[in-house]
Amino acid sequence: MNRSTFTAYLPESKIMLKQKSSDNSLEDYTRLLKKQTEKLESLDQQCLANLDKCNRCYLSAQNRETRLNNRLKQTKSALRSQSLVPKNSEYNIKTKKLPKYPVFKQAFKLNDKY
């Protein structure tokens, strides 16, 4: 009768070292190794799922930041252009003339039919 001893190291705190010495030690070692492999595969799947979730969150944040930056640029552009546009109160209804802004003399030519 050949008796062998196999040792399997498991990375769990409860099972630090398992040592079996019997005729079925190869089967026991295989069972422990299979259990360890299943545990590692489960952890691997959890890690990949978490990585995928992290990547989606990162891309979503990047996309949100890009949208916010674009909106900020549009707002700044609109504010810049509004500073050149006279407000309704600045338009003289009686004379039908805009205040003297050099930009508007070139950009807008108002009809006298107003």
Domain coordinates of the chain in residue numbers? Answer: 4-86
pLDDT tens-place string over residues 60-94: 888 888 888 888 888 877 776 766 544 554 555 55
C-beta separation of 98 from 91 below 8 A:
yes
DSSP-based three-state secondary structure for 9: coil
C-beta separation of 6 from 25 below 8 A:
yes
pLDDT tens-place string over residues 37-55: 999 999 988 988 888 888 8
Q: Which of 37, 46, 31 is nearest to 11 (CA)?
A: 37
pLDDT at 78: 76
Spatial separation of the C-alpha atoms in residues 54 and 59, rounded to whole Å: 9
